[in-house]
Chain A
Amino acid sequence: MEQTYAIEMLNITKRFPGIIANDNISLQLKKGEIHALLGENGAGKSTLMSVLFGLYQPEEGTIKKDGKEVKINNPNDANDLGIGMVHQHFKLVECFSVLDNIILGVEPNKAGFLQKSEARKKVMELSDRYNLQIDPDALIEDITVGMQQRTEILKMLYRDNEILIFDEPTAVLTPQEIKELMQIMRNLAAEGKSILFISHKLAEIMEVADRCSVLRKGKYVGTVETANTTMEELSALMVGRNVSFHVDKKESTPGKEILSIENMTVASKLHKNNAVRNVSLKVRAGEIVCIAGIDGNGQTEFVHGLTGLEPLAGGKITLCGEDITKATIRQRSLKGMSHIPEDRHKHGLVLDYTLEDNLVLQRYFEPEFTDKAGFLKRKNIREYAEKLIGEFDVRSGQGPSTIVRSMSGGNQQKAIIARELDKDPELLVAVQPTRGLDVGAIEFIHKQLIAQRDAGKAVLLVSLELDEVMDVPDRILVMYEGEIVGEFDPKKTTQEELGLYMSGAKRM
């Protein structure tokens, strides 16, 4: 007997100029199952979901709901078919209440006037039934990420959606919140909802999903039952080869103290409390120290305080024996601090400048690039850019004169790394240097960090990725709610142990 699926995407092909984003991909979601969709960045997951939501029209292929072919021209069609999605970046209006966000778009009303009490009743019923705790009157900007996610889930349930898609839902959650989410997903599936779970985290997929479909470079690789497979097998399917999860590196030989931070406190821009509280740490030459933690626990503010983007509310920073607490960003840079910023588009690059102009962003004022009268030495800039482009293999359309906006994310990041490393810094502050990059680029960057360490530099890595936290550094510091709550030797700890500290369950 033929199985009826909640939703089927059959032989979907979607092309963009110069690239096939989805090449003959099929995906079948059974009723009441949790189905994982696995793939690296750029494997075609988001394109496939955009097709499902009617944002893109595929060149080939069909979509069936309950065995009947349907046409999805826009997100409204998808909504009408009962398809809902929790996006990776939540689609919530920050200055609205939880309730307003849930009803937005399907507001109960009489002659245009909102009838919120009706809505509130339904939301609270759903909240009880699925054990999704929320405060309907709190503003989104005031609540935790976990509650924001529950708001997103309630949005789907409020609309009576039957097919629920979760796009990388665990990236911003603590291990404990992840556990809760897994339980919620199981509850939902038990109530007959069909769940599509997009992720590249193998452990989570193994734990919660019934089946898993794998995409690689726009192509469909296969679907496996999680009960009959292993993480290694899934990983091989995902990247097409067996990757070593471990980075090769020698023992570190720490030297003299390069960076010393005493009782650093930084005010928060979002709330009245301090985002960073009394943080003290030291980084020595020849070691990589990693600050681990869940997103939003003060890491960003810590880095801003360290690099001078934000003033300190208290504390002292010493770099190579010099007090730089009050130094400007430029002074810190000249004294040997390099900074690979968290957000390469916001801070790291002037996207509308050429590659060469971006490569001298930290050095343009040096006599090598600017003469005494204040004119730029264009020839020297070109030569310097060509040198860096060669050394770091930065690929672009027109070499040094390429506008950076048109480059791929990996090459943009390479350009930043080239610029920051070539400054020959004493201290390298690298904040999520591999965010959003593919495996090859990640390997390259990890190697560069270790090379810096081996050359006797101090490296301070801030990372959210547990794999990176376990593999790259020589010491791990866990930050939770603006404080350092634990210090670990990566060789002697486990991800589980770190998780307890990262979530505030334990502290030293």
Chain B
Amino acid sequence: MLLLVQYTILFACILSLVALGGCFSEHSGVINLGLEGIMVMGAMGGALTMKYLPSDTSALLIVVFTIAVSMAIGMVYSLLLGVAAIHFKADQTLIGTAMNILGASLATVIVKSINTLSNPDDHSSAVQYIEEKKAFIVNIGDFEFSWFMAIAVVALVASYIVLYKTKLGLRLMACGEHPQAADSVGINVYKMRWIGVLISGALGGLGGICYITTGVSEWKFEYGVAGFGFLALAVMIFGKWKPQNIALAAILFGFFRALSNVYFGFDFLVNLNIPSGVYNMLPYVISLIVLAFTSKKSRAPKAEGIPYDKGAR
């Protein structure tokens, strides 16, 4: 039971972080379908950091460095979206899709090359971080507290404050709702959208490293992140683009995702004799159903996905 709670919280944290990423980008007016790819890249950055940090690095430094690198790589990778969507008016769906495929293949190529170069017989795309991973975990009784839980809570609160209490949030949301209005009062729409995309990249990268350190101690980058970026988008839609609702939506989705990880710990579930595939499918099925009921009157930012052209008023 405790395990289920722990995993639910962990998955909810990942989903919240990434959904908040999507939230910032969409509030600024750019649809970020490339979150999946951003997660993979961020995860790769973090995993390699853990691998290459000297083994005597203190736990705190490991946490700080790993997170910093993941976020930085996520941001760098989101430049691809920013350039194409903000300045070249590219189809944001296409760009997002390309970034997802590119993220998975680029991470695989990089990790494989690193592995092969250090050991010519090693053709795997896996990175191990058994020891380093422990830095993120504090045992409280039987409950494994992960620093990511604290980070996710901070991110949720911070996002709420930034969006609703600061100048930046007000301007950011104006650009996603009515960029012409924002422009007419002297707000630089392009700059605001860049800020939205970059925050999105940072949070996506953070979500990525959080994802691959959950439950496992090595990651094969060929697998990407199993549609988690898109689950996060479903969380964002279900959460109506608001941090407080996103948190709740993330817990719901996180629960079903956790179930597929730990269902064999529950005798009555095992006795039902349902194939594991069903549990694997569950989060996706649930999100389809939830979307079917909540998308009808969605309150997406009005100008999202529409390239802003200063000339056309």
**Any B CB within 8 A of the CB of A309:** no
**Any B CB within 8 A of the CB of A210:** no
For residue A111, which residue of chain B has the nearest CB?
A: B166
**Any B CB within 8 A of the CB of A93:** yes
**Any B CB within 8 A of the CB of A106:** yes
**Any B CB within 8 A of the CB of A55:** yes
Residues of B within 8 A of A114 (CB): 165-167, 170
Contact with B along A92-132 (1 / 0, CB 8 A): 11111000110111110100111000000000000000000
A93 touches B177 (CB 8 A): yes
Q: How far is the CB of B245 from chain A (nearest CB, A)?
A: 15
Q: How far is the CA of A76 from the CA of B191 in the complex (A)?
A: 15
Q: How far is the CA of A92 from the CA of B180 in the complex (A)?
A: 9
**Any B CB within 8 A of the CB of A155:** yes
* Given A75-B183, A91-B178, A93-B177, also A104-B171 (CB < 8 A): yes
* Given A91-B180, A91-B181, A114-B165, also A100-B186 (CB < 8 A): no
Q: How far is the CB of B126 from chain A (nearest CB, A)?
A: 43
Contact with A along B177-197 (1 / 0, CB 8 A): 110111111110000000000
**Any A CB within 8 A of the CB of B101:** no
Q: How far is the CA of A155 from the CA of B171 in the complex (A)?
A: 15
Q: How far is the CA of A87 from the CA of B171 in the complex (A)?
A: 20
For residue B168, which residue of chain A has the nearest CB?
A: A112
**Any B CB within 8 A of the CB of A79:** yes
Residues of B within 8 A of A94 (CB): 177-178, 302
For residue A155, which residue of chain B has the nearest CB?
A: B185
The total number of A-B Cβ pairs within 8 Å is: 64
Q: How far is the CA of A112 from the CA of B165 in the complex (A)?
A: 9
A104 touches B166 (CB 8 A): no
Interface residues in A, total, Cβ within 8 A? 25
Q: How far is the CA of A101 from the CA of B182 in the complex (A)?
A: 9
Residues of A within 8 A of B182 (CB): 93, 104-105
Q: How far is the CA of A187 from the CA of B186 in the complex (A)?
A: 27
Q: How far is the CA of A248 from the CA of B145 in the complex (A)?
A: 84
**Any A CB within 8 A of the CB of B174:** yes
Residues of B within 8 A of A105 (CB): 171, 182, 185-187
Residues of A within 8 A of B183 (CB): 75
A93 touches B165 (CB 8 A): no
* Given A55-B313, A93-B178, A109-B166, also A76-B184 (CB < 8 A): no
A104 touches B181 (CB 8 A): yes
For residue B188, which residue of chain A has the nearest CB?
A: A76
Residues of A within 8 A of B184 (CB): 75, 85, 87, 91
* Given A109-B166, A114-B165, also A104-B177 (CB < 8 A): no
Residues of A within 8 A of B181 (CB): 91-93, 101, 104
Q: How far is the CB of B20 from chain A (nearest CB, A)?
A: 19
Q: How far is the CA of A93 from the CA of B172 in the complex (A)?
A: 12
Q: How far is the CB of A34 from chain B (nearest CB, A)?
A: 23
For residue B175, which residue of chain A has the nearest CB?
A: A93
B177 touches A95 (CB 8 A): yes
Residues of A within 8 A of B302 (CB): 94
Contact with A along B289-313 (1 / 0, CB 8 A): 0000000000100100000000001
Residues of B within 8 A of A103 (CB): 170
Q: How far is the CA of A95 from the CA of B185 in the complex (A)?
A: 17
Residues of A within 8 A of B166 (CB): 109, 112-114
Q: How far is the CB of A356 from chain B (nearest CB, A)?
A: 27
Q: How far is the CA of A492 from the CA of B59 in the complex (A)?
A: 89
Q: How far is the CA of A85 from the CA of B184 in the complex (A)?
A: 9
A79 touches B186 (CB 8 A): yes
Residues of A within 8 A of B186 (CB): 75-76, 79, 105
For residue A53, which residue of chain B has the nearest CB?
A: B184
A104 touches B165 (CB 8 A): no
Residues of A within 8 A of B170 (CB): 96, 100, 103-104, 107, 114
Q: How far is the CB of A114 from chain B (nearest CB, A)?
A: 6
Q: How far is the CA of A88 from the CA of B116 in the complex (A)?
A: 64
Q: How far is the CB of B271 from chain A (nearest CB, A)?
A: 50
B180 touches A104 (CB 8 A): no
Residues of A within 8 A of B173 (CB): 93, 96
Q: How far is the CA of A107 from the CA of B165 in the complex (A)?
A: 11
Residues of A within 8 A of B178 (CB): 91-94
Q: How far is the CA of A76 from the CA of B177 in the complex (A)?
A: 21
For residue B311, which residue of chain A has the nearest CB?
A: A55
B167 touches A93 (CB 8 A): no
Q: How far is the CB of A86 from chain B (nearest CB, A)?
A: 11
B187 touches A96 (CB 8 A): no
10 interchain pairs, CB-CB under 8 A: A79-B186, A91-B181, A91-B184, A92-B181, A104-B170, A104-B174, A105-B171, A105-B187, A113-B165, A114-B166
8 nearest CB pairs, A to B: A105-B185, A91-B181, A76-B186, A107-B167, A91-B184, A93-B177, A109-B167, A93-B178
Q: Which B residues have a C-beta under 8 Å from some C-beta of A?
A: 165-168, 170-171, 173-174, 177-178, 180-187, 299, 302, 313
Given A101-B181, A114-B166, 17 extra CB contacts under 8 A: A55-B313, A75-B184, A85-B184, A91-B184, A92-B181, A93-B173, A93-B178, A93-B181, A96-B170, A103-B170, A104-B187, A105-B171, A105-B185, A105-B187, A112-B167, A113-B166, A155-B185
